Amino acid sequence: MTAPTAAQAMAAATARLRAAGVPDPARDARVLLAHAASVDAARITLIAPEEIAPDIAERFENLVALRAVRVPVSHLVGQRAFYGRDFKVSRDVLDPRPETESLIELSLSEPFNRVLDLGTGSGCILVTLLAEQTNAQGMGLDLSEAACLQASANAVLHGVAGRADIRQSDWFGAAEGRFDLIVANPPYLAKSEMLSVAPELRLHEPEMALTDGHDGLSAYRIIASQAQGYLTATGRVLAEIGWQQGPEVAAIFRDGGWGRVRILPDLDGRDRVLWADTPA
Ligand code: GLN
């Protein structure tokens, strides 16, 4: 029996992943074959007509089997791209998501010297902000020790470890000093919503990063009531929100005495970012 070509192996994998309900099976098959063969995904077309070596075929087979039980591609290849950089990820942290790039864009729209990232997770927000704003210092806090290690590794990977102070902390517990920017992508799914999220999230991402086990708004109540004690006079809070939470989150901050509260959209035009400050 002759070995299958890369194209044949990908077609078989695509069919298997489609049957397993994977949303974009052809793309995933391509990315996983590239990973198994240690080539760039953009070069897969070039090797499509070639037979694949048995060791690569076996690696690919194992990856496809795991993807079929809905292990995220990022976990299988160990990284995920975010704002132009690759971040190490694992099941200890929330995967960086494209909608969070809106939080980055808005955070970078005004300069800052000191930034605090609450619930830093993979560190993708803190590390990106420090990599983009090369004079800034940052602190990243997370309740999960495993997440702190992951964020530290990503800070090293992207050359900002000397400016990133990462600490294990329950919200503001370990925060010190004042910041001109406080950012967060907190767990904002309601407990009831957890039943309907994709298996990749429900089975393979940390529940504590996704939901507060309540109405999804607990983190905003904590941030609205405590952040002013850690902000400079001209400082601001930017937090990611669920696209249906704009009115409720805005009300929490208005009731918390913030002078100016804005809800801003992501690239899909959906409410995605809270911006709160208290201009003089
Ligand atoms: N945006 C995430 C989702 O898809 C939720 C992330 C969060 O709770 N911060 O579901």
CA 59 to centroid of ligand 1, rounded, Å: 31
Atom number of ligand 1 nearest to Cα 242: 1
Count CA atoms closer than 13 A to 59's CA, side-chain side: 16
CA 194 to centroid of ligand 1, rounded, Å: 10
CA 45 to centroid of ligand 1, rounded, Å: 34
- pLDDT, mean of residues 180-204: 96
User: Is the CB–ligand 1 distance for residue 25 below 6 Å?
Assistant: no
Q: What is the mean pLDDT of the chain?
A: 96
CA 96 to centroid of ligand 1, rounded, Å: 10
Contact 48, 11 (CB under 8 A): no
pTM over 0.85, yes/no = yes
Atom number of ligand 1 nearest to Cα 216: 8
How many other C-beta atoms can be found within 10 angstroms of the C-beta atom of residue 55?
A: 10
User: Is the CB–ligand 1 distance for residue 188 below 6 Å?
Assistant: yes
4-47 confidence digits (pLDDT tens): 999 999 999 999 999 999 999 999 999 999 999 999 988 999 99
What span, in angstroms and rounded, lies between the C-alpha atoms of 133 and 129?
Answer: 6
pLDDT value for 3: 84
> Does residue 150 carry a pLDDT above 90?
yes
Please state the three-class secondary structure of the chain as a single string. Answer: CCCCEHHHHHHHHHHHHHHCCCCCHHHHHHHHHHHHHCCCHHHHHHHCCCECCHHHHHHHHHHHHHHHCCCCHHHHHCEEEECCEEEECCCCCCCCCHHHHHHHHHHCCCCCCEEEEECCCCCHHHHHHHHHCCCCEEEEEECCHHHHHHHHHHHHHCCCHHHEEEEECCHHHHCCCCEEEEEECCCCECHHHHHHCCHHHHHHCCHHHHECCCCCCHHHHHHHHHHHHHEEEEEEEEEECCCCCHHHHHHHHHHCCCCEEEEEECCCCCEEEEEEECCC
User: Is the CB–ligand 1 distance for residue 189 below 6 Å?
Assistant: yes
pLDDT value for 280: 74
Which residue's CA lies nearest to atom 6 of ligand 1?
210
> Does residue 226 carry a pLDDT above 90?
yes
The residue to mutate among 95, 144, 189, having the most atoms of ligand 1 within 8 angstroms of its beta carbon, is 189
Tell me the pLDDT band of 2, cut-offs 50, 70 and 90: confident
> Does residue 1 carry a pLDDT above 70?
no
CA 241 to centroid of ligand 1, rounded, Å: 8
How many other C-beta atoms can be found within 10 angstroms of the C-beta atom of residue 85?
A: 17
